[in-house]
């Protein structure tokens, strides 16, 4: 399963650390998972062949087609394994996006994706046996940063947001291999910076201590959480050599609501109002907390263009904190500012001097 070719990567000392960055990135949602927002193709299994580089290449192309075209296509990793002219085999390789862009192996009619049905995966390098019919092509592909380093968390998030799931390398050791669920927070150390190619389909800043990537592996759905992993930012050199393909545009989610205000208007009701800054939301999610920092819970959802809501049935003399998030079919916006308010006390329980008009209080003296 360790298939990223060592010759393609730099010495470990050259990998810049990504640990210690702020998880939040201005203008981006706190969480995005393209597999839940739009959908992902089924998890593949590379078997005993070190062809993770081919699965990473085909995988980001499949997800791009799923997001941009709204259809699921099963692309042939075997075509990349058998027909590439770079010498990449089951002993390792690197991102083969050029074959979906401009590179044409001998005997092939042109570049572009080949479908799985035309060249099924065999987990070994066999004869290319051209020609094959080619379909979807990309307009370009790029590294997120350097080809031999780990980009910043912010740069990786921006690439996923702008271009969809990205192909990345990672150091996959014992901890990675034995992962069964949850957030992997302690990474592996490898003899080289990385040794395995995977796909990042999203992130979630609320996971672990400082956020985590949503990683898609190619070891079948029986590994990890249905073939996926949550891995903390900045460990195991995850993100090394990150690359994305250019084909179509990603559907972007709504902007965060602004100017959230809260006001207690009775012993049991607090009114909220905010400014809708988006034109593409499908609704708003309203969350409440007893302290403003933790224990947030969703208390209501409202439709698109709504800019007010009343929280009723509350206990008297109680303070609550609120935040609002715009939602769409693809993702959720960052949260609004936090606003707080307190329900009224029972006036009959107060000393009348607290609520008698000033003139009457002066007269009673």
Closest CA to 114 of 94, 125, 92, 129: 129
d(CA 188, CA 170): 9
**Residue 196 falls in the annotated catalytic set:** yes
- Residue 163 known to be catalytic: no
Check whether 281 has a pLDDT greater than 50.
yes
Kindly tell me if the per-residue pLDDT of 317 is higher than 90.
yes
What residue spans define the domains of the chain? 46-246, 258-346
Closest CA to 206 of 300, 34, 334: 334
Regarding predicted confidence, which is higher, 146 or 356?
A: 146
Whether the Cβ atoms of residue 276 and residue 257 lie closer than 8 Å to each other: yes
CA 337 from centre of chain: 22
Annotation marks residue 217 as catalytic: yes
| 81, burial (CB in 10 Å: exposed 0-12, middle 13-18, buried 19+) | buried
CA triple 174-176-179, angle to 5 deg: 105
String of b and e for 115-154 (b: at least 16 CB within 10 Å)? bbeebebeeebeebeeebebebbbeebebbbeebbbbbbb
137 contact partners, CB below 8 Å, separation of at least 6 = 100, 101, 111, 112, 113, 247
The residue length of the chain stands at: 365
Which whole number is the average pLDDT over 63-77? 96
What is the enclosing helix (H) or strand (E) of 242?
A: strand 240-246
Mean pLDDT score, 16-21: 40
Contacts of 21 (CB under 8 A, 6+ apart): 152, 153, 154, 233, 234
Third-level CATH fold of 46-246: Cathepsin B; Chain A (3.90.70)
Beta bridge partners of 261: 273
Q: Name which of 322, 318, 261 is nearest 297 in CA terms.
A: 322
Contact assessment for residue 32 and residue 162, using Cβ atoms and an 8 Å cutoff: no
304 Cβ partners below 8 Å, 6+ apart? 281, 282, 283
DSSP string, 299-335: EEEEETT--EEEE-SPPTT-EEEEEEEEE-SS-EEEE
Residue 363 buriedness (CB in 10 A; 0-12 / 13-18 / 19+): exposed
Sequence-ordered alpha helix ranges (H) in 76-152: 77-83
Query: Regarding beta strands 240-246 and 166-170, do their DSSP bridges make them parallel or antiparallel, or are they unpaired?
Result: antiparallel
Contacts 24+ apart (CB under 8 A), 335-339: 335/30, 335/256, 335/287, 336/256, 336/257, 336/258, 336/259, 336/260, 336/274, 337/258, 337/259, 337/260, 338/260, 338/289, 338/292, 339/260, 339/261, 339/262, 339/272
Share of the chain above pLDDT 90, in %: 78
Count CA atoms within 13 Å of residue 176 on its CB side: 27
**Average pLDDT for residues 139-164, to the nearest whole number?**
96
Per-residue pLDDT tens digits for 79-133: 999 999 999 999 999 999 999 999 999 999 999 999 999 999 999 999 999 999 9
pLDDT at 31: 84
**Of 60, 65, 89, residue with least CA distance to 168:** 60
Cβ proximity of 144 and 156 under 8 Å = yes
pLDDT computed for residue 150 by the predictor? 97
- How high is the pLDDT of residue 351? 58
Report pLDDT digits (tens) over 254-276. Answer: 878 889 999 999 999 999 999 98
Q: What is the CATH number of domain 258-346?
A: 2.60.40.10
Of 76-85, 217-226, 271-280, 294-303, the least confident: 271-280
User: What is the pLDDT at residue 357?
Assistant: 52
The model carries a pTM of 0.72
152: Cβ contacts below 8 Å, ≥ 6 apart: 18, 21, 145
Of the residues 52, 83, 128, 190, only one is catalytic, namely 52
pLDDT, tens only, 225-262: 999 999 999 999 999 999 999 999 888 778 788 899 99
Count of other CB atoms within 10 angstroms of residue 67:
22
Q: What percent of the chain has pLDDT over 70?
A: 88
Catalytic residue, from 64, 217, 237, 311: name it: 217
Among 134, 196, 237, 311, the active-site one is: 196
* Between residues 321 and 22, the one the model is more confident about: 321
Lowest mean pLDDT among 138-142, 332-336, 351-355: 351-355
Model confidence over 189-214: pLDDT tens digits? 999 999 999 999 999 998 999 999 99
């Amino acid at each position: 399963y360790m298939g990223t070719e060592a010759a393609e990567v730099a010495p470990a000392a050259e990998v810049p650390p990504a640990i210690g960055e702020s998880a939040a990135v201005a203008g981006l949602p706190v969480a995005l998972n393209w597999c839940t927002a739009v959908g992902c193709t089924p998890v593949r299994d590379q078997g005993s062949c070190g062809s993770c580089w081919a699965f990473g290449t085909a995988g980001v192309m499949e997800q791009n087609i799923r997001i941009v075209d709204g259809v699921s296509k099963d692309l042939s990793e075997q075509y990349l394994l058998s027909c590439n002219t770079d010498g990449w085999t089951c002993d390792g390789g690197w991102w083969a996006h050029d074959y979906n862009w401009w590179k044409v192996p001998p005997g092939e009619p042109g570049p572009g994706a080949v479908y799985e049905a035309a060249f099924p995966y065999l987990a070994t390098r066999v004869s290319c046996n051209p020609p094959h019919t080619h379909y979807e092509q990309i307009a370009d592909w790029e590294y997120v940063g350097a080809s031999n380093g780990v980009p910043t968390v912010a740069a990786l998030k921006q690439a996923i947001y702008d271009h969809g799931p990205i192909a990345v390398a990672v150091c996959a050791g014992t901890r990675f291999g034995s992962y069964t669920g949850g957030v992997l927070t302690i990474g592996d150390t490898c003899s080289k910076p990385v040794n395995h190619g995977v796909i990042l389909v999203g992130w979630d800043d609320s996971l672990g201590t400082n956020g985590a990537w949503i990683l898609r592996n190619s070891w079948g759905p029986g590994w990890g959480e249905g073939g996926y992993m949550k891995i903390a930012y900045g460990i195991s050199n995850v993100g090394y050599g990150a690359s994305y393909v250019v084909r179509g545009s990603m559907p972007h989610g709504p902007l965060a609501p602004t100017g959230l205000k809260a006001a207690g208007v009775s012993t049991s009701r607090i009114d909220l109002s905010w400014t809708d800054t988006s034109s593409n939301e499908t609704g708003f999610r309203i969350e409440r907390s007893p302290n403003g920092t933790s224990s947030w819970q969703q208390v209501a959802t409202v439709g698109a263009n709504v800019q007010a809501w009343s929280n009723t049935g509350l206990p008297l003399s109680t303070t609550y904190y609120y935040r609002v998030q715009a939602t769409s079919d693809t993702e959720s916006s960052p949260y609004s500012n936090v606003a707080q308010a307190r329900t009224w006390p029972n006036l009959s329980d107060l000393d009348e001097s607290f609520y008698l008009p000033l003139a009457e209080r002066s007269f009673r003296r």
